[in-house]
Structure 1
Amino acid sequence: MQLMDNWNKEILRLAIPSIISNVTVPLLGLVDLAVVGHIGNETYISAIAVGSMVFNVMYWLLGFLRMGTSGMTSQAYGRQDEQECLNILLRTLMIGLGMGILFIVAQRGIEWGMLRLMNTPEASWSFVATYFRIVIWGAPAMLGLYGLTGWFIGMQDTRTPMVVAVLQNVVNILASLIFVFVLGWKISGVAAGTVLAQWVGFMVSLYAAYRRISSEKEQGLTSEKSGLMVLQTTFCRVLVMRGEWREFFRVNKDIFLRTLCLVAVNFFFTSAGGKQGAMMLAVNTLLMTLFTLFSYLMDGFAYAGEALSGKYYGAGDTKGLRITVRRLFGFGVIMALMFTAVYVFGGVGFLHLLTSDGSVVAAAQPYLFWAYLIPMAGMAAFVLDGVFIGLTATKGMLFSTAMAMIVFFVVYYLFWNSFGNDALWIAFLSFLGMRGIASILWVRRYLVIF
């Protein structure tokens, strides 16, 4: 029984800091929104909303830098291959920093395309452009931080990313307040605060990684061979390791394509709600918040799954891998039941917390039933996404998400004429459920870990 308690403790040790980190992610955007809400009219607010969305799309599509790094690092950690762990870190940093620099070089083209893609109101164009042209300088830091976060998770350390995430928010709040209200920089101050927070987070995370690499305990270095020398030697070696580069891009290609499927569904969901009018768009946005909250918690367990399943797979410990997956599902079921109960008994109250507009809450209540089903429909997909990443079985992730995307569109167009907005929610729940079912089928067919 003590052994089973230790399995649970190990999962929670990794999951809880990840949940805290996830919750802080949207705060960076919310801080910007709150500050501009006190310095101007709706033009400022819409500019921050559009600008934040532009960067969310850019960075979301490159989320493979975190996920692919996590899976490969956890396997190398399980094999006790410290050198390969370092190789992976340098490889992902090279790509992340390189992509960030590319974004800076191509910023005018990106700005032009995104302003039109987001249907930006003309009154907000100059403010969005100002925000974008400043925040784009944080792109290398953000993408480098993606790789560092994935590396720490793979090294069974979710505490460092949590500390960095909290630090970023503190820096962002303080810097934005000083730049805006003391120096009077307005929207430029908000953007500058965001960039400063991003670079502080990156540098602190990079320093933490360097400290870990340099320690004699982790690398077994002699006093004659410094951590810096190891990094220099490894950097040269990484540049010429073609096989490892191919594997890196194979894993990340599948994750990137899978992300495109997720983006297609989420964009269509928002667009389909918007076509029904401002009221229905507001209703769907409020109810989707219930999904977002659940996803923050379940992503924490998915991160634990990445770290532990990769470690046991890399170590060749099939028994440990199976127990981990089963325990993750146990936590997933408990969390799904808990969230379902909270939504059933507190859903209306939560909507009132989000908005004081009684007409929006009243319009949302007929669709609350669909939100009650989100936790159970989505739980399996979240758990197995973490397992797939840990095993670098990314084709399973791509297969399950692509199949679920097809089901989403088929269900929506079959039922739209008869059920209206209910059809949109039925399609979304079908998407979540199909991701889980297809993931389980793939695991049972190709991985045999249940």
Structure 2
Amino acid sequence: MQAVDREILRLAVPAFLALVAEPLFLVSDAAIVGHLGTPELAGLGVAAVVLQTVVGLCVFLAYGTTASVARHLGAGDLRSALAQGVDGVWLAVVIGVVATVLGVVLTPTLVGAFDTGSEVADHAETYLAIAFLGTTPLLVMLAATGVLRGLQDTRTPLLVAVVGNGLNIVLNVVLVYGLGLGIAGSAIGSVIAQVISAGWFLVVVVRAARAHDAPLTPDLAGIRAAAHAAVALVVRTLALRACLLVGTYAVTRVGTGDGDVTVATHQVAITLWSFLAFGLDAIAIAAQALTGRALGSGDVAGTRALTRRMIRWGWGSGIVAGVALAAVSPVVGAVFTTDPAVRDLLVPVLLVAALGQPLAGVVFVLDGVLIGAGDGAFLAWAGIIVLVAYAPAALWAATLPHGLVAVWVAMTVVFMGARGVLLTWRARGDRWLVTGAAVAR
């Protein structure tokens, strides 16, 4: 077990630091924009949900690429591993261009779906229309990160994430306050940082491909194969992102006297929850890479042992995250806003979120194991089942007293609980233990 732990830590520690750094794009934006005012923070909250949904739907570019590259690596075919990775990067460019055009055109419609006040909507549209210009770089970063993770390299993504986020913070402060561009400056700073980070990733992947004589030109058959394999993961991600969208919509329906305070509080809470989710996902990243490599080499017994060990790591990291979130809940609101109403309402919401962190740690690990195994079809169906269970629960919770807190209880108990039950049931079976270089099925 010590060797397994070392292998997990070798991948998970850099992945943890990189994953914690990734959401800092929005955490830093929220901290900087929040001091402009509550309407600006609420507007950022709406825009962030839309942007995270669009980018989140394309997370298969990282997850699917990690699994396929790792399997080829386990099978001893590094050239094919890099060729598949390059195909994933080209697919990211194609999807990114389409998403950028559609996103900019549909920004007013997307923001309008949340039915907020006009001032909040104006701020949301301003941020979102600019932020969509960073979609292609973000997707390229996802695909390139997947390539490197599949190659068992989580250190390079860490370095890029740290430098990129540091640049983002500096640009945000200069543009928002130094040049007085307000919320638009925050979006511009983030886009610039994303473009530079994507360029860095491309240099690393291109060098590796050339070193192993892997093709760099677009391979239409390879791109189509990558897109086909991604369909199940898209459905899975769409269902899970839909759950978060339903939760945000439910929050806007909470019957309180000050809707801006409720939405702003939810934005801070979901930002912190996402921050911890990315951190807990570090073990899942290790699970994807190690599971893919083990199954690619035909090692079923090793895959089982890895899974059991990573579940224990999931529990432990979730407990640590929950304790930390509960400890900072009375004071962390001051980082994001000066509004006392938002800061007071935030405390009970964060305490509910803290209680759900141990379960979240296990859910993310099992999700990573099954993604690494290429069990996309099951994950898609599981996502749909979770959405069917959670949507009515969240909408009903919004009608209860203390509606915002009730929505977060539904998120912890129904959303995460249902995922935990389904993923645990699947992991105990054998149907996902398919060996060989092929990942999609």
Sort the TM-score into its range (normalised by shorter chain).
Answer: 0.7 to 0.9
Q: Which has the larger radius of gyration?
A: 1
Letter paired with 1:205? F
Letter paired with 1:305? A
Letter paired with 2:410? A
Q: Whole-Å Cα distance in 2 between the matches of residues 54 and 289 of structure 1?
A: 13
Secondary structure of 1:405 counterpart? helix
CA contact (8 A) 2:370 2:432 kept: no
Corresponding residue for 1:316?
Answer: 298
Corresponding residue for 2:20?
Answer: 23
Corresponding residue for 1:262?
Answer: 240
Asked if residue 333 in structure 1 is aligned to residue 315 in structure 2, the reply is: yes
1:154, distance to aligned residue in structure 2 (A): 1.0
1:199, distance to aligned residue in structure 2 (A): 1.2
1:252, distance to aligned residue in structure 2 (A): 1.4
Please report the TM-score for the alignment, with normalisation by the length of structure 1. Answer: 0.82
Corresponding residue for 2:220?
Answer: 239
What do residues 115-162 of structure 1 show as CA deviations (whole Å, max 9, x unaligned)?
A: 322446544666655544544332221111111111111111111111
Query: What does 1:201-216 align with in structure 2 at a 5 Å threshold?
Result: 201-215=197-211
Deviates more, 1:277-286 or 1:5-14: 277-286
Tell me: CA distance 1:91–1:120, structure 2 relative to 1, closer, same or farther (3 Å): farther
1:163, distance to aligned residue in structure 2 (A): 1.0
Q: Whole-Å Cα distance in 1 between the matches of residues 102 and 392 of structure 2?
A: 37
1:437, distance to aligned residue in structure 2 (A): 1.5
Corresponding residue for 1:396?
Answer: 378
Letter paired with 2:204? A
Tell me: CA distance 1:379–1:138, structure 2 relative to 1, closer, same or farther (3 Å): closer
Tell me: CA distance 1:16–1:186, structure 2 relative to 1, closer, same or farther (3 Å): same
Tell me: CA distance 1:75–1:169, structure 2 relative to 1, closer, same or farther (3 Å): same
1:386, distance to aligned residue in structure 2 (A): 0.6
Tell me: CA distance 1:391–1:137, structure 2 relative to 1, closer, same or farther (3 Å): same
What do residues 155-211 of structure 1 show as CA deviations (whole Å, max 9, x unaligned)?
A: 111111111111212222334455556666655544432222111101101111122
CA contact (8 A) 2:23 2:275 kept: no
Q: Whole-Å Cα distance in 2 between the matches of residues 78 and 266 of structure 1?
A: 35
Corresponding residue for 2:146?
Answer: 150
1:360, distance to aligned residue in structure 2 (A): 5.5
Tell me: CA distance 1:363–1:195, structure 2 relative to 1, closer, same or farther (3 Å): closer
CA contact (8 A) 2:37 2:337 kept: no
Asked if residue 433 in structure 1 is aligned to residue 411 in structure 2, the reply is: no
Q: How many residues align?
A: 427
Higher fraction of helix = 1
Q: Whole-Å Cα distance in 2 between the matches of residues 357 and 121 of structure 1?
A: 18
Query: What does 1:250-329 align with in structure 2 at a 5 Å threshold?
Result: 250-276=228-254, 277=256, 278=259, 288=270, 291-329=273-311
Deviates more, 1:424-433 or 1:119-128: 119-128
Letter paired with 2:108? W
Q: Whole-Å Cα distance in 2 between the matches of residues 174 and 360 of structure 1?
A: 26
Secondary structure of 2:414 counterpart? helix
Query: Which structure exhibits the higher relative contact order, with contacts defined as CA atoms closer than 8 Å and separated by 6 or more residues?
Result: 2
Question: Which blocks of at least 5 consecutive residues in structure 1 are unaligned?
Answer: 220-226
Q: Whole-Å Cα distance in 2 between the matches of residues 17 and 280 of structure 1?
A: 35
User: What's the C-alpha RMSD, in Å, of the aligned pairs?
Assistant: 3.4
CA contact (8 A) 2:64 2:371 kept: yes
Q: Which of 81, 94, 97 lines up with 2:93 in the alignment?
A: 97
Please report the TM-score for the alignment, with normalisation by the length of structure 2. Answer: 0.83
Tell me: CA distance 1:287–1:69, structure 2 relative to 1, closer, same or farther (3 Å): same
Q: Whole-Å Cα distance in 2 between the matches of residues 132 and 281 of structure 1?
A: 17
Tell me: CA distance 1:375–1:193, structure 2 relative to 1, closer, same or farther (3 Å): closer
